[in-house]
A and B are shown apart, each in its own frame.
Chain A
């Protein structure tokens, strides 16, 4: 296989489910070794996309080539070359960590000569060595995810498809998990990972933003952030509802997003607008805890783009 051929390529990949169009004409091309992030709101089609690529769903229209094989007709060949991690815990509750690993090792025909050593390495990698003999349902949420990851790696696949692998996991485990992913990425594994966390999206080589089944943007994080023009000002008012109303009347404000009690405003020029905003607040006798310019994050860009789509 030539190295300049993308390892995953979809052409107008479509999946309909009854009247719902889960994935619509998806065109994406992922080169080998890329760490590709899939983001989007619930129901955008991320899980469906991953399941399609894993050969778990029938294709309604379009086609895809993975590792050189056609998805529609050669799904079984593809399966031995990918590792898949489902969103819900999909392993065997009453089997131990080791038993789960061995089970999948058998199904992927892992060479028994290297299996023992590889398993130990994976367990160490995932921090599960001390829990070898524990039943899977007695593991914490984070450990369960790591076990699932280990099971998807037991055959050292070229491609990993991970569906929200860190959702519901404590922050420490989340960080550990991403360290593992980064290492795999550095070793050359192609990873497609869906995530609701924007800081994770930031760590990807490229990010694909999905909305209502369509891929509305697909680029490096840096470039995506440029998609929204302007600067970001964050303010934490005491009464955010009143503040929201006020801010929307001011000039130069492109967009206001609410985050809990904070307002994230996208303005044309932060230098100019920040003092204006502060003055406006004082004039209305509204207090705030803090107001500053901040670098635009994926989060803001994301929400902005979605908002535009909805209009």
Chain B
């Protein structure tokens, strides 16, 4: 392989990018901008979820109960209503996310054999707030009983060390506050750093659409030289972002960085190699840029978002999808990113993922070279 040929292609490509300042700006900063948007959109801490209460009991106890539930920041008492109809109406309008219905015999049946049913209706159409409401209402209800019970037993002179017989000692590693932001952002970073692949998919189709491919193919340039030469500038773009974006994340979002940056840089380069060559495969097969970008959206962007385990654990996916996610470089890179940012692990632990990424890169490049023919039509 001739370095001179490779470098000629890279130089040309760089000139091409640099001379279109509008596109250059977009290519360089889309990852950063995307990260900003997504980080804000997807890592919102839930609070102030509005709920309504229908209290058919209206006793001191039920009022205390309502108070318990809505104390604090998590749940907001939107309204104290009189009927189920009103509840239905409010839920329909989306003004409340959950409703608690206190039955008339609440305070009476509290201490009866069968207990008291507490009806909680949640708006299941919103993924996060519904579950959140359920949890918190459940928790508060729990606290309430426990307090009541404690009171009861103390009155009878029985002391119980703990009403919750099993004491859970919980420790959370790497992200003590369990704030979604801390682990989602490294995940988003891993996704966003792969964006240059979309541009790579376009570059071959661009040559075909503009007719320069014909002249290019009449020269003795080799396929590998052409493909790698075209990937290289985007590798540089990617690496620039590898420096910029974590810096942004740390400064702006205060995400911790517990690992080694040189290692991160090195592993990111391997990731870029893998995902850029994935983009190149698309470029090799598509004749027009429109088709290339549609396909790269479908195969790189969309799966990169949903199937790489950033939001949704891969363990919970069906078998086939789990296997598919293995083929996506983003999956492995997400583990690496999280590992270096949050866990602070090093190459001793991460090497399998590095190997996997490198292997994917070789396979993808191989496929691209194999299927790229220096022929028209």
In-complex A–B contact (CB below 8 Å): yes
Contacts from A to B (Cβ < 8 Å): 17, 51, 54-58, 75-76, 79-80, 82, 84, 86, 88-95, 99, 102-104, 106-109, 148, 151
In the bound complex, what is the Cα–Cα distance between A133 and B210 (angstroms)?
Answer: 22
The distance in angstroms between the C-alpha atoms of A64 and B212, with both chains bound, is 26
B215 contacts chain A at the CB level, 8 A cutoff: yes
**On chain B, which size bracket covers the interface?**
20 to 34
List 8 A-B pairs, Cβ < 8 Å: A51-B376, A57-B375, A82-B218, A89-B211, A95-B15, A106-B7, A107-B219, A109-B5
Beyond A57-B377, A94-B20, is A76–B220 a contact (Cβ under 8 Å)?
A: yes
B362 interfacial by beta-carbon distance below 8 Å: no
- Please, what's the 1-or-0 string for B207-237, where 1 marks a CB less than 8 Å from any CB in chain A? 0001110111111111000000000000000
Which A residues are in CB contact (< 8 Å) with B219?
79, 104, 107-108
Q: Which listed residue (A56, A92, A108, A109) contacts B212, Cβ 8 A?
A: A92
Nearest-CB distance from B371 to chain A (Å)? Answer: 15
Which one, A79, A88, A94, contacts B15 given CB within 8 A?
A94
- Known A-B contacts A17-B377, A95-B15; the reply to A79 vs B220 at CB < 8 A is yes
Contact indicator A79/B218 (Cβ below 8 Å): yes
Answer whether A86 and B214 are a contact pair too, CB < 8 Å, given A58-B375, A80-B220, A94-B15: yes
- Give the complex CA separation of A88 and B214 in angstroms: 9
Contact of A93 among B4, B11, B210, B377 (CB under 8 A): B210
Measured between C-beta atoms, what is the minimum distance from B19 to chain A in Å? 5
Instruction: Indicate if B118 sits at the interface (CB-CB under 8 A).
Output: no
- Report chain A residues within 8 Å CB of B172: none
Measured CA separation A148–B8 after assembly (Å): 18
With known contacts A58-B375, A94-B20, A86–B211 Cβ distance under 8 A: yes
Q: A109 is contacted by which of B2, B7, B376 (Cβ under 8 Å)?
A: B2
User: Which B residues lie within 8 Å of A94 (CB)?
Assistant: 15-16, 19-20
Chain B, residue nearest A106 (CB) = B8
Most buried by A among B2, B5, B216, B220: B220
Q: What is the bound-complex CA distance between A306 and B12, given in angstroms?
A: 45
Nearest chain A CB to B16's CB is how many angstroms away? Answer: 6
Return the contact of A107 from the options B5, B210, B374 (Cβ within 8 A).
B5
Q: In chain B, residues 5-49, which have Cβ atoms closer than 8 Å to a Cβ of chain A?
A: 5, 7-8, 11-12, 15-16, 19-20
CB closest residue in chain A, given B210: A93
> With A99-B15, A103-B12 known to touch, is A56 a contact of B214 (CB < 8 Å)?
yes
13 other A-B residue contacts (CB within 8 Å) besides A51-B376, A107-B219: A55-B218, A56-B217, A80-B220, A84-B218, A86-B214, A86-B215, A88-B214, A92-B16, A93-B210, A94-B16, A95-B12, A95-B15, A103-B11
Binary contact track B93-131/A, C-beta < 8 Å → 1, others 0: 000000000000000000000000000000000000000
Chain B residues numbered 162-218 whose CB sits less than 8 Å from any CB in chain A: 210-212, 214-218
Question: What residues of B have a CB within 8 angstroms of the CB of A108 in the complex?
Answer: 219-220
CA distance A102 to B215 in the complex (A): 14
Q: Is the CB of A84 within 8 A of B2?
A: no
- What B residues does A106 contact at CB under 8 A? 4-5, 7-8
Which residues of A have CB within 8 Å of B222? 76
Chain B contacts for A57, CB-based, 8 A: 375-377
B236: min CB distance to chain A, Å: 19
A90 to B211, CA, bound (A): 5
- Is B8 a contact of A91 with CB atoms below 8 Å? no
Q: How far is the CB of A303 from chain B (nearest CB, A)?
A: 30
- When distances are taken between beta carbons in the complex, the residues of chain A under 8 Å from B12 are 92, 95, 99, 103
Which residues of chain B are near A86, meaning CB under 8 Å? 211, 214-215, 218
Of all A-B residue pairs in the complex, the 10 with the closest CB atoms, nearest first, are A106-B8, A90-B215, A84-B218, A107-B219, A80-B220, A79-B220, A94-B19, A86-B214, A54-B218, A56-B376
The reply to whether B375 and A107 contact each other, CB–CB distance below 8 Å, is: no
Taking the nearest CB of chain B, how far is it from the CB of A138, in angstroms? 12
Chain A residues near B376: list those with CB within 8 A. Answer: 51, 56-57
CB distance from A47 to the nearest CB of B (A): 10
- Chain B residues near A99 (CB, 8 Å)? 12, 15
- Which of B19, B214, B221 has the most chain A CB atoms closer than 10 A to its own CB? B214
Q: Which of B8, B212, B215 has the most CB of A within 10 A?
A: B215
User: B220: which A residues are within 8 A, CB to CB?
Assistant: 76, 79-80, 107-109
- Give the distance in Å from the alpha carbon of A228 to the alpha carbon of B16 in the complex: 53
Chain B residues with CB under 8 Å of A58's CB are 375
